[in-house]
């Protein structure tokens, strides 16, 4: 590899690391989650803004999927998760998608 190419690659890696570190450092503690909290007690808004909890799905098999619109693998798996939900809903499967993005951002993907 030529030294110019190596410098460009190193600069790109350093830039990406800085971008990711900046996002991580800007995260704030969640008001939704508290230490020692049971996951069933977690209250999260659905796409219509209603507060929902995982305890609503007691007695069902819950698959919780944390995803984001900016994550290509997450977006690629959405149709497969939808098919899985459709095929196994009679057997009690419910798939719960959780994203930290707004309903307006998420809605086109679900």
Single out the residue of 99, 6, 95 nearest to residue 45, CA to CA: 99
Q: What is the pLDDT of residue 83?
A: 92
State pLDDT tens for residues 43-61. 788 888 888 888 888 888 8
Structure tokens at 49: 């803004």
Strand partners for 45:
51
Contact 44, 33 (CB under 8 A): no
Q: What is the pLDDT of residue 13?
A: 53
Residue 67 is classified by DSSP as -
Rounded mean pLDDT of 7-22? Answer: 52
Fold of 33-109: Glutaredoxin (3.40.30)
Between 19 and 59, where is the model more confident? 59
Contact 94, 60 (CB under 8 A): yes
For the chain, the domains span: 1-30, 33-109
Rounded mean pLDDT of 19-40? Answer: 56
d(CA 47, CA 109): 12
Rounded mean pLDDT of 16-41? Answer: 56
């Amino acid at each position: 590899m030529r030294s110019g190419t190596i410098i460009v690659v190193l600069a790109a890696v350093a830039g990406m690391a800085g971008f990711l570190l900046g996002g991580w450092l800007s995260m704030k503690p969640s008001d939704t989650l508290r230490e020692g909290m049971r996951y069933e007690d977690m209250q999260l808004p659905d796409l219509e803004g209603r507060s929902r909890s995982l305890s609503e799905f007691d007695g069902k098999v819950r698959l919780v999927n944390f995803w984001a619109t900016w994550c290509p693998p997450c977006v690629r798996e959405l149709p497969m998760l939808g098919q899985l939900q459709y095929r196994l809903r009679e057997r009690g499967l419910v798939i719960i998608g959780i994203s930290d993005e707004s309903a307006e951002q998420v809605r086109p993907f679900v």
